[in-house]
Structure 1
Amino acid sequence: MNPWRRSGATPVSAEGRIEDLLCALWHMGDRHLRDDGSVTDIARRPIPSAGATYAVHTHLIVGTDGTDGLEPGHYVYDHDRGQLLRRDSARETAAGWELPHRPFIDSRVVFSVQPGRSFGRYRHRAWPLWIADAAYALEAVRFLLDTDLPGVFGPGPEIRAQLGMPPAAETDAWLRRGMVPEIPLVSIGLSSSWAVAPQRRHALARRRSPKLVDFVRNPVHNTNAARLAELTGQAWIAHADRIETWEVAPRAPAETIYDSLWHAHSAAARLCYNAALSQKVRCRPVSGIPAAAESWTMHAVAMLDGIEDTEEEPDDDRP
């Protein structure tokens, strides 16, 4: 989490719908447990993250009419402390940043990624995972509000302008303020009548990826799962009751790959969240799958029938 407080952002009270939404997305639960029962230092969150790196950060733009007691302006959510902060326009202007002068009419949620942790772990394989995490966050908002809200997708000047941020490549502009670059990836407009659906909030809160041991206990009977297990080198996948995969040609144009990544991970997120709502199947996302000559399986979801109250592992196998 960037130290926005040191850059002049001040804590504010989030109430009503805003509090409901932020808590439903990012509430920190108990710590993950390892297979041997020992406790990790990684807190459970409702939204899965590739390798549990949690690269996504949440910004809120409050429109001209205000939202649940918040004044119009730009806010950022401190995921670690569960605290909403209001950015200081004067401090940012003095630092050479420029928040939009004209207020937005409607409120927006913007998800950025802070690449450091996932890049440190995955290097050149990290960039698709930033889209993956942002897509899972986007679909969580749509799921909670039970509405297919439109989005503006980044990176690019339009979404950066919404947040008044310099490009991530301009590292000096970030480092001078004691922060590291963020890359805004998706901005979602909120309608005036939006609300978090209680049943969906509870479903997202109880969502857990099944442990690998749960798969291994299951007999191998799905040939598609067995083939994917061989391709990935992850034997547990062969024990899935079924799998869903998304592919793209490795030599496709960059724009096609970009669009396909958003489509694949958004579809996978919807599958996982709807499964948590129905309680008929458990889903574990899978990424980091090697590309073959003619096809790259960008993402997959391995599924087990039925719901079992188990501890989720600290890594959801989206390396």
Structure 2
Amino acid sequence: MQPPGPQDSPASGTVESQRHDGLPVAAMLRAIWWSEDFHPNPATGLPGKVRKRPVPSAGGCYPVQLRVLCGEGCDVPPGTYVFNGTGFNGSGGELLRLRNHDDGTPPQGGLRAPARGAVVVLTVLPQRTLAKYHHRAGPLLIADTAYAAVALVHHAAARDVDARWDAVAPRRWPGSVPEFALATVSLGVSPARCQQPRHDRIAGVSEAQLAVRRSCGLSRLRARPAADAGRVVGELLERSLLSFPQAAPSSCRARVLSAESLRDPELADRCAGQSWVRSLDALLVFEILGTPTPAAMWWTATLAAHILYTALGADLPLEFRPVGGWTGSRCGWTTLHGLGVAIRKPLTTNHERAANAGQ
């Protein structure tokens, strides 16, 4: 069943002419949140209604909305915008300027446009995710937001734009449907403010690299995990932590499951019966000792996304599939999120090449 609820927050506005200079806000958002192509309808094989976006989303619900507060120096005039993500008003893939917010201040106050640069506010429309996942929806909404925020920061690095992501205390965003702000991404704001403590620079991910990112196809998973997958993923985890700007909350950890651990008969039960995880080459699990907290869930999801986009930016032969819906605990450790990893297999026949084109 198609879950109920809107795919986008109803909004009306005007499309502003983009400048050829200035901070490429519209271009960056289009790169992470837009595609001309659609996923096929499983029943017919024809293009469906869900775009092949570079950012993953649980069940293809895509609850994240992009609100943009622009100051001076952007490729659009100062003001408040919403990114037209699926094509309402007969178009799509551009910023719509909301005329009643020309001072850059949302009607409830609080977040304001910077003097220069832009702040992207990531909000969620929870209805579709709630209808599909019920009590498991909360962590999935956080994860969807985290993957979008981190993707934007990695793409900003490729364009040499100062950027940082931040979680915000959930707040209701005004409108005709329930919509909640969960995070912000600052773009081109003062470098001193955007500087995040890290050992290494965040890997840049180009528009072309974003365009080919897809969750690993279940039909391509191996019957038996690759022997060296655990080592490969462990090295990727260590490498990614060097450029990750957030310290781990107390009692949180990330660890790699491979080979024997993936064959644990209880593993699929702990992630809501997703038995396909046994066919992965490796699985990164993010855990907390004790009761989950929102801070731990945010750390977990942003680190998983950071690992994915670090590998994408380095053109590593790896495919990923986020694993949500974890339940219960084991030996006191509660799993918050998983990141499935498959080592990309070479395509050996013309039929395989054709079948997997664009995936």
Q: TM-score, normalised by structure 2?
A: 0.69
1:4 is aligned to 2:11: yes
Give the aligned residue type for 2:321.
Answer: R
Matching residue of 1:248: 288
Gaps of 5+ in 2: 1-7, 87-91, 192-202, 227-258, 347-352
Query: Equivalent residue of 1:154, what SS?
Result: strand
Q: TM-score, normalised by structure 1?
A: 0.77
Gaps of 5+ in 1: 161-166, 314-319
Pick one of 55, 58, 64 that aligns with 2:63.
Answer: 55
Native 8 Å contact 2:69 2:112 kept in 1: no
- Tell me by how many angstroms 1:246 deviates: 0.2
| Deviations, residues 280-303 of structure 1 (Å, cap 9, x unaligned) | 211111110222252221111111
Pick one of 44, 49, 58 that aligns with 2:52.
Answer: 44
Matching residue of 1:163: none
Residues of 2 paired with 1:104 and 1:148: CA distance?
A: 14
1:141 is aligned to 2:152: yes
Question: Structure 1 residues 302, 149: closer, same or farther in 2, change over 3 A?
Answer: same
Residues of 1 paired with 2:289 and 2:145: CA distance?
A: 22
Native 8 Å contact 1:33 1:312 kept in 2: no
Question: Structure 1 residues 100, 244: closer, same or farther in 2, change over 3 A?
Answer: closer
Pick one of 82, 88, 93 that aligns with 2:99.
Answer: 88
Native 8 Å contact 1:226 1:237 kept in 2: no
Native 8 Å contact 1:138 1:186 kept in 2: yes
| Cα RMSD for the two superposed structures | 3.2
- Mapping 1:173-184, distance limit 5 Å: 174=175, 179-184=176-181
Residues of 1 paired with 2:282 and 2:101: CA distance?
A: 54
Higher RCO (Cα < 8 Å, 6 or more apart): 1
1:150 is aligned to 2:164: yes
| Deviations, residues 224-250 of structure 1 (Å, cap 9, x unaligned) | 222333533322211211111101245
Pick one of 276, 279, 301 that aligns with 1:239.
Answer: 279
Native 8 Å contact 2:162 2:187 kept in 1: no
Native 8 Å contact 1:57 1:77 kept in 2: yes
Residues of 1 paired with 2:112 and 2:316: CA distance?
A: 45
Query: Equivalent residue of 1:245, what SS?
Result: strand
Query: Equivalent residue of 1:184, what SS?
Result: strand
- Mapping 1:1-319, distance limit 5 Å: 1-5=8-12, 9-16=13-20, 17-33=24-40, 38-39=45-46, 40-63=48-71, 65-68=72-75, 70-80=76-86, 81-89=92-100, 97-98=107-108, 104-106=114-116, 107-146=118-157, 149-156=163-170, 167=172, 174=175, 179-191=176-188, 200-215=206-221, 217-220=222-225, 222-227=259-264, 228-232=267-271, 233-252=273-292, 257-277=293-313, 278-292=315-329, 294-306=332-344, 310=356
Aligned length in residues? 282
- Tell me by how many angstroms 1:193 deviates: 9.1
Matching residue of 1:316: none
- Tell me by how many angstroms 1:134 deviates: 0.7
Identical residues among aligned pairs (%)? 28
- Tell me by how many angstroms 1:14 deviates: 3.9
Query: Equivalent residue of 1:210, what SS?
Result: coil
- Tell me by how many angstroms 1:46 deviates: 0.7
Whichever structure has more helix as a proportion of its residues is: 1
- Tell me by how many angstroms 1:273 deviates: 1.6
- Tell me by how many angstroms 1:15 deviates: 4.8
